[in-house]
Amino acid sequence: LLLNVLELDTPALLIDLDVMESNIRRMADYFNTKKAKLRPHVKTHKTPIIAQKQLDAGAIGITCAKLGEAEVMNQWRIEGILLANEIVGSLKISRLVSLAKYSRIIVAVDRKENASDISKAAEQKGLAIDVVVEIDVGLNRCGVLPDEACELVGAIRSMSGLRFRGLMGYEGHCVFISNRDERRRMTEESLSKLMFAKDIVEKSGQNVEIVSAGGTGTYDITGEYPGVTEIQAGSYVLMDGRYKALNLGFDCALSLLTTVMSKRGNRIVVDAGTKTCSTEKGLPTVLDVPGATVLKLNEEHGIIELPQDSHISVGDKMQLIPMHGDTTINIHDHYYGIRKGELETVWRIEARGKST
């Protein structure tokens, strides 16, 4: 059965498969020739089959934000998971240890007490869990300050339930800086902090095997910075309006198919609102309708102003490009994979909503 995209019920989250595959290839080609490797973040797409495509293209593993995401990926036999987040509390730590029995997972730590809790839980199961120490390189989120790295690494070395693998430092405050020179300057300043931490840890006699950083906006700055061994970029696969504005060479594979349900003059209403398209980073744009502007989204209604000469009428389909892919994907159950206007596949977004 060949189904044209316009026959799908709406709202429906679409992936243009040609564009997604080209984004995956483009990023893989870049890292083919670089010392640093790609361990893409899957918090964006949350879907094992896409992670598998990234691995098939040469990624060394995947990065997850949440334990729940890592559990799903492990169930689908996706290997090489970096859990780039602090896992705190006995309930989560016991899940982490269970997962580590099935998958050689690497987890971030930024506190001695937390490291010790993980170590003790792992020891009880006869395991040693791989850890990276998170360094705050300026994002001002999690992580120790660069000059505190040595102390924590020293403590980790004395814990028999942990295996120190290296450092991570995500420069999330740089990835959306629109001016490329400024983005490079800020990124390099952040990475110099990460390298300062690496140097002092190495001088203390500890080998630093992994140095992980980088997002989509900085993949080719961080990817060439001496000493960085792997990059965590994730949004490049599907992209969104916010990243598209940076002109990084990746195209939007993600869109939300909607139907026009009402029209008055040149103002139309489509059947998608904030319950199917996130707006915390801005309103979506309209694909292939020059001059159409999204004015606002209610829960289940999107209000769009059309140019005066527009022939769009009730019942027509329109595609919106969300400003933020991650939070839009997280409120959908399925992707509809489209190739040249026809439905090729439907994928469950297996790890959507996995926030614990």
Ligand X SMILES: Cc1ncc(COP(=O)(O)O)c(C=O)c1O
Which of 235, 255, 276, 328 binds ligand X (CB under 6 A)? It is 235
Closest-CA residue to 70 (of 52, 40, 96): 96
Number of residues near ligand X (by CB under 6 A) = 13
Please say which residue, 43 or 332, places its beta carbon nearer to ligand X: 43
> From the CB of 287, what's the least distance to ligand X, in Å?
21
Which of 175, 186, 256, 277 binds ligand X (CB under 6 A)? It is 175
Contact by Cβ (8 Å): 235, 326: yes
First to last CA, the chain: 39
Which of 233, 329, 349, 351 binds ligand X (CB under 6 A)? It is 233
In one letter, which amino acid is 125? K
Please say which residue, 216 or 259, places its beta carbon nearer to ligand X: 216
Which of 31, 170, 335, 336 binds ligand X (CB under 6 A)? It is 170
Please say which residue, 84 or 118, places its beta carbon nearer to ligand X: 84
Cβ-closest position to ligand X: 215
Please say which residue, 128 or 210, places its beta carbon nearer to ligand X: 210
> Quick check: 225 binds ligand X (CB under 6 A)?
no
Q: Which two tokens stand for residue 171?
A: 């420069």
Closest-CA residue to 215 (of 196, 228, 227, 226): 228
> Quick check: 146 binds ligand X (CB under 6 A)?
no
> Quick check: 253 binds ligand X (CB under 6 A)?
no
> Quick check: 278 binds ligand X (CB under 6 A)?
no
> From the CB of 97, what's the least distance to ligand X, in Å?
22
Which of 10, 16, 19, 41 binds ligand X (CB under 6 A)? It is 41
| Residues in 106-145 at the binding interface with ligand X, rule: CB under 6 A | none
> From the CB of 279, what's the least distance to ligand X, in Å?
18
Please say which residue, 173 or 263, places its beta carbon nearer to ligand X: 173
Which of 55, 67, 84, 270 binds ligand X (CB under 6 A)? It is 84
Which of 143, 161, 172, 337 binds ligand X (CB under 6 A)? It is 172
> Quick check: 166 binds ligand X (CB under 6 A)?
no
> Quick check: 215 binds ligand X (CB under 6 A)?
yes
Q: Which residues bind ligand X (CB under 6 A)?
A: 41, 44, 84, 170, 172, 175, 215-217, 232-235
